[in-house]
Amino acid sequence: MTKQQLITEFDFTLPRGLIDTKGRINRQGKMRLATAKDEIFVQQHPQVQENPAYSILIYLSQVITRLGSLSSVTPQLLEDLTVIDLAYLREFYNRINQHKTAKIPVQCPHCNQDFKVELTLSGEF
């Protein structure tokens, strides 16, 4: 009998990507499952206490373990995300932590047509 391994990190690709200080577009990343410790950290964070809307950036900075060639992911860095990338990461976070299906808005890079696609996670079977 084999044990099923718990997947705790998931690959993602941002629809547009975050441009770093060297002009590189960072789209590929990894996000880990959130923990109770993350929840406590976010609720106690001074920026969240001043502005509850900032909580999503704190959450994401805690759980994104890699984003392109960036050495670290901070809330301040995530402030520069496009709205579509932020929406994508919010849905991705909810999907991996709550096991929901989600359709996200995307735009074809060739014809610029908007449409929705179902978010699928690498490692799903």
Bigger pLDDT: 6 vs 33: 33
> In 3D, which of 84, 94, 124, 119 has the Cα closest to residue 33?
94
> In 3D, which of 52, 41, 42, 34 has the Cα closest to residue 97?
34
The pLDDT value given to residue 109: 82
The pLDDT value given to residue 108: 83
pTM, rounded to two decimals: 0.73
> In 3D, which of 102, 30, 15, 90 has the Cα closest to residue 57?
90
